[in-house]
Structure 1
Amino acid sequence: MLLTGAEILVKSLIDEGVETLFGYPGGAVLNIYDSLYMYKDKINHILTCHEQNAAHAADGYSRATGKVGVCLATSGPGATNLVTGIATAYMDSIPIVAITGNVPKNLLGKDSFQEVDIQGITMPITKHNYIVKDVNELQKTVKEAFHIAISGRPGPVLIDIPKDITSAKAEYKNMDDIEISNKEFRVEYEKIKEVAEMINKCKKPLIYAGGGIISANARNELKNLVEKINSPICTSLMGKNSIESYHPLNIGMIGMHGTKASNLSATKSDLIIALGARFSDRVITDQENIKDAKIIHIDIDGAEINKNIKSDASIIGDLKEVLEKIIPLVNEAKHEKWNLEVNSFKNLEEKEVVDGLTPEFFFKILNKKNKDNLIITTEVGQHQMWAAQYFNFKNDRTFISSGGLGTMGYGLGAAIGAQIARPDMKVINIAGDGSFAINCNEFATAVSNNLPIITVVMNNNVLGMVRQWQNLFYDRRYSQTTLNRKTDIVKLAEAFGGIGFRVVDRDQLEDVLDKALNSKKPVIIDYVIDCDKKVLPMVAPGAPINQIISE
């Protein structure tokens, strides 16, 4: 059957199970959009206000489901507007396929109108990328792109398609007739046995879980290991959903804004078991900090092994499969003395004593309202850390945040993707007033698509995290971090067609949350807090993780 390249692309997406596409049209992708019109009963296209948010929405869709998210943009500025979203997905190992149009082949390299080398631009921030110069290769390219995005360590893949390829015709094949290479991981039994023996010999284990647990769907296996060896577990920001927040062995997030229990336990442990996590600069910056611990590192990506912290034993492979093989070989253990020591670290955590509106109070009330039907997305900054510190997560894929790249403006686009992916859940985007201003126009997309997203703006009138660093490390020289904006966030919500609330007193919050949670329309809550409220505890950049700033 002869089809145009645009038809081949759309039918290939349908064959890959794509039901939703986030994008923004333009001249170079008009043929694709014409085909999308013809197949609108098969693929739901969400028109965003900005291409960056199409990428963020595809990312949020993927994080909420585990499927490949898809976004589409035109050539030139449309393509470059995707770059931040692609880099965000790349840093957090999120599988998305980004499709861009380009000028016709005969105009490539001639500085044509709206031409950029998007393949070259995105090379460092994609697992793989393509420019399709033969319509006969398009169908196979799409299949390969989806396979690469989701296999091994997940990540973004870009397909750039010149406009004349979308109008050229080729034979459409049965997808089963298209073969692609498949890399298999074979884990050596001797390595499994070595790791199990190290776990059996240790006296003070600490499990450090990252986002790889979520990607590998290895949450049950992780919990089985934690409970079998009765080990305390800490998580990275990306690993927040790897185990329930309130599990008795969960001692919280580790690192710069981690709990005292996690940070101190790492310095006292004799064996750290890192699972699907990289030792980033926000976790541990110097191996001297954990010199008494042997390190087991298990990850799908061999490039992460020994990159930042040297391991004593390592396994490269799928976490679910590896843990399934390790667990039968480890002995049940109690580690009672060690857990008593860890619990003594827990008792060092400060309790909230401040009156007035605080992040702690907000999440205390939200936790009370939570019926395990909430997905939390965040922008980036203090509010992001408060959400990670104070919200009680039960289920996986319910915390969606930009970890590695730290992209301000990420949360609302991601919330749109997550809400479309999971209409059975209520999505709440936690924002700061600085991050909110970057992409608040995407609230129009939520309104246009009747998405009952709640955006909570922790409004302190400053760029809070940067101000916090200026306070602690720059002798309170608050250069360009006081916003002094006159924007009325409640009126802004109403102008977009949504609902706005302002909370300035504790007595208001519960009623406002009830109304927001029961609303069928998008809501923005302007939650006014003090500009000097800090994210604590904190470890200064480059400092040992047991040197903790508490006040």
Structure 2
Amino acid sequence: MQITGAQLIIECLIEQGVDRVFGYPGGQVIPLYDALYMNRDRIKHILTAHEQGASHAADGYARSSGKVGVCIATSGPGATNLVTGLATAYMDSSPVVAITGNVPVTLLGRDSFQEVDITGVTMPITKHNYIVKDKNELAATLREAFKIAKEGRPGPVLVDIPKNIQQDLIEYERVEIEPVKRSTSRLRDDDIEKAINLISLSERPMCYIGGGVIRSDASAELVEFIDRIDAPVCSSLMALGAVPSFNPRFTGMVGMHGTKVSNLMVNSCDLLIVIGARFSDRVISKGSTFATQARILQLDIDPAEFDKNIISDSHVVGDIKEILTILNSRLEKREHKDWMDRVQDAKRRFPMKVTLESKRPREILKALDDVLSTEKDAFVATEVGQHQMWAAQYLKHNKPRHFLTSGGLGTMGFGTGAAIGAQIANPEARVVNVAGDGSFRMNCNELATIARYKLPVVILVFNNHCLGMVRQWQNLFFQKHYSETTLDTPLDWVMLANAYGVKGMRLKADDDAEAILKSAFELNEGVVVDCEIPIDDKVLPMVAPGASINDMMGFIDNEGN
């Protein structure tokens, strides 16, 4: 059967089970958008306000559903507007396929109108990318792109398709897509035995988990593992929800804005088992003082992460779910009563209590937790900054894939797009974006998308009229030189929301947060809540840059020491 390249793209997407795509049309993808129009009963297209919003929405769709997110953009500026979203997905291992148009093959390399070498631009921030110059390679390329995005360590893949390839007639035959198998090819029994030996010899084991646990859907296996070896567990930002917050073994985040308990236990354990985590600088801080009493056992799907930032004593390469399943089947149940008593004592002594400098944000997030507790299912996305860390610290995270945040790249502007993607992927769930006024300035145009599709996304804008995290650093480390961080433009978020056709509400400093948030959710429509907070509220505790994670400022000691 011969069909156009544009129609073939649609058929290949349907082969992959894709029924939602995000994008923005332009000259070099008009044939593809014509095919989308003709197949609108088979694939729903979500028109975002900006291509960056489409890339973040595809990412949020992927993170919340476990499926591949798809975004579409035209050539030139349309394609380059995807770059930040692709880099965000790459740093956080999120499976996204980006399809871009380009000028016809005969015009490539001639500085044609809206031509850019997008494969060259995105080479460092994608798992792989392609430009299709032979129409007979289009179907195979698209199928391979999805396979690469999903297999092993997930990540974004870009496929650049010149306009003439979209218009040409191409022979098409449907293919049944086989599920991507979990990565076990490098999993060696010798490595498993070394891991079992290290765990068996340990008296003070500690687990440090990262986003790889969630990406491999290994939360159940992880909980069984920590129970089996009788160990506490701390988390990177990306792994929040992999172990429920209420689990007594969970000590909270580790690192710069982690808990005192997590940081203390990492530096007190005799074995640190690192599971799907990459030793980010925001976790280890001063590497020479990190986990100095411990042997390091690292479990990861990507061998490039071994010995990159911290040297490990042993490692196992493979899919986290598969590794933990094997370990759980072979390990004898252990007991470390003295060690676990020590952990519980530290949790009592150093609780994650609010300081005076974060009281109001904590009150708002506590109210949000209470309101969401009545929902059957709820997802929280964030932008990047103080509000992001407060949400990580104070919200309860009890399910994997329900806390969507930009970790590796730290992308201001991520949250609203991600919330849109999560709402599209989970139409019956409640979706909240916790934003700061600085970050929300970067993507508030996506309110048009929320209004257009009548998405019941609730956005909390933590409004301190400044770039809060940068101001916090200026306050603590730069002699209070508040250079260009005060946002004193007379911007009214309620009026702006109303202008887009979205409900705007105010939450003033003395208002009852729970009452107002409850009324916002009861509307069951898109809502922006302008949440007034003090300008100098801080994210605490905190490790100063370059300091040991033992040296935290701003924590509360119940014994007053």
Q: How does the TM-score come out when normalised to structure 2? A: 0.96
Report the residue type matching 1:481 in the other structure: T
CA distance in 2, matches of 1:353, 1:183: 45
> Aligned pair in 2 of structure 1 residues 167, 182: CA closer, same or farther (>3 Å)?
farther
Deviation at 1:192, TM superposition (A): 0.9
CA distance in 2, matches of 1:512, 1:357: 18
CA distance in 2, matches of 1:318, 1:488: 48
CA distance in 2, matches of 1:180, 1:66: 13
Report the residue type matching 1:26 in the other structure: G
Match of 2:392 in 1: 388
Report the residue type matching 2:50 in the other structure: H
SS class of match (1:358): helix
- Between 1:384-393 and 1:336-345, the stretch displaced more is 336-345
Q: How does the TM-score come out when normalised to structure 1? A: 0.97
SS class of match (1:242): coil
CA distance in 2, matches of 1:201, 1:305: 22
Match of 2:402 in 1: 398
Report the residue type matching 1:487 in the other structure: L
RMSD: 1.7
- Between 1:152-161 and 1:492-501, the stretch displaced more is 492-501
Deviation at 1:353, TM superposition (A): 6.0
Map of 1:79-158 to 2, 5 A cutoff?
79-158=79-158
Contact 2:384–2:411 (8 Å) recurs in 1: yes
Deviation at 1:252, TM superposition (A): 0.2
Match of 2:354 in 1: 352
SS class of match (1:243): coil
- Between 1:258-267 and 1:169-178, the stretch displaced more is 169-178
CA distance in 2, matches of 1:382, 1:335: 37
Query: What does the per-residue CA deviation read over 1:34-76, in whole Å, with 9 as the maximum and x for residues that have no partner?
Result: 0001110010000000000100000000000000000000000
Contact 1:357–1:505 (8 Å) recurs in 2: no
Match of 1:470 in 2: 474
Match of 2:310 in 1: 309
CA distance in 2, matches of 1:77, 1:449: 25
Contact 2:127–2:149 (8 Å) recurs in 1: yes
Report the residue type matching 1:330 in the other structure: L
> Aligned pair in 2 of structure 1 residues 519, 262: CA closer, same or farther (>3 Å)?
same
SS class of match (1:490): helix
Match of 1:486 in 2: 490
CA distance in 1, matches of 2:164, 2:509: 60
Stretches of 4+ aligned residues off by more than 6 angstroms: 177-183
Contact 2:259–2:352 (8 Å) recurs in 1: no
Report the residue type matching 1:451 in the other structure: L
Match of 1:294 in 2: 295
CA distance in 1, matches of 2:226, 2:182: 32
CA distance in 1, matches of 2:62, 2:125: 17
CA distance in 2, matches of 1:361, 1:178: 48
Deviation at 1:542, TM superposition (A): 1.7
Match of 1:331 in 2: 332
Deviation at 1:355, TM superposition (A): 9.8
Contact 1:261–1:343 (8 Å) recurs in 2: no
Report the residue type matching 1:134 in the other structure: D
CA distance in 1, matches of 2:355, 2:419: 32
Deviation at 1:517, TM superposition (A): 1.4
Contact 1:10–1:36 (8 Å) recurs in 2: yes
> Aligned pair in 2 of structure 1 residues 184, 198: CA closer, same or farther (>3 Å)?
closer
SS class of match (1:283): helix
Report the residue type matching 2:53 in the other structure: N
Match of 2:558 in 1: none
CA distance in 1, matches of 2:278, 2:515: 42
Match of 1:40 in 2: 40
Is 1:430 aligned with 2:434? Answer: yes
CA distance in 1, matches of 2:157, 2:186: 25
Report the residue type matching 1:313 in the other structure: S
Is 1:527 aligned with 2:531? Answer: yes
Contact 1:4–1:169 (8 Å) recurs in 2: yes
Report the residue type matching 1:289 in the other structure: F
SS class of match (1:244): coil
Deviation at 1:350, TM superposition (A): 5.5
Is 1:207 aligned with 2:220? Answer: no
Match of 1:173 in 2: 173
Contact 1:96–1:149 (8 Å) recurs in 2: yes
Deviation at 1:328, TM superposition (A): 2.4
> Aligned pair in 2 of structure 1 residues 6, 245: CA closer, same or farther (>3 Å)?
same
Match of 2:10 in 1: 10
CA distance in 1, matches of 2:380, 2:395: 9
CA distance in 2, matches of 1:79, 1:182: 31
SS class of match (1:369): helix
Is 1:369 aligned with 2:377? Answer: no
Report the residue type matching 1:303 in the other structure: A
- Between 1:486-495 and 1:348-357, the stretch displaced more is 348-357
Report the residue type matching 1:187 in the other structure: L
SS class of match (1:377): strand
Deviation at 1:510, TM superposition (A): 1.6
SS class of match (1:290): coil
CA distance in 2, matches of 1:157, 1:165: 19
Structure 2: which 5+ runs fail to align?
A: 556-561
Deviation at 1:169, TM superposition (A): 1.1
> Aligned pair in 2 of structure 1 residues 381, 265: CA closer, same or farther (>3 Å)?
same
> Aligned pair in 2 of structure 1 residues 272, 179: CA closer, same or farther (>3 Å)?
closer
Contact 2:2–2:169 (8 Å) recurs in 1: yes
Contact 2:56–2:414 (8 Å) recurs in 1: yes
CA distance in 1, matches of 2:455, 2:309: 41
CA distance in 2, matches of 1:21, 1:128: 20
Contact 1:450–1:520 (8 Å) recurs in 2: no
Number of equivalenced pairs: 551
Query: What does the per-residue CA deviation read over 1:80-128, in whole Å, with 9 as the maximum and x for residues that have no partner?
Result: 0000000000000000000000001111011100000000000000000
Equivalent in 397, 416, 419 of residue 412 of structure 1: 416
CA distance in 2, matches of 1:253, 1:203: 22
CA distance in 2, matches of 1:227, 1:128: 38
SS class of match (2:304): helix
Report the residue type matching 1:324 in the other structure: T
Is 1:278 aligned with 2:278? Answer: yes
Match of 2:559 in 1: none
CA distance in 1, matches of 2:121, 2:485: 31
Is 1:321 aligned with 2:326? Answer: no
Contact 2:95–2:149 (8 Å) recurs in 1: yes
> Aligned pair in 2 of structure 1 residues 316, 50: CA closer, same or farther (>3 Å)?
same
Contact 1:378–1:429 (8 Å) recurs in 2: yes
Contact 2:242–2:398 (8 Å) recurs in 1: no
- Between 1:482-491 and 1:178-187, the stretch displaced more is 178-187
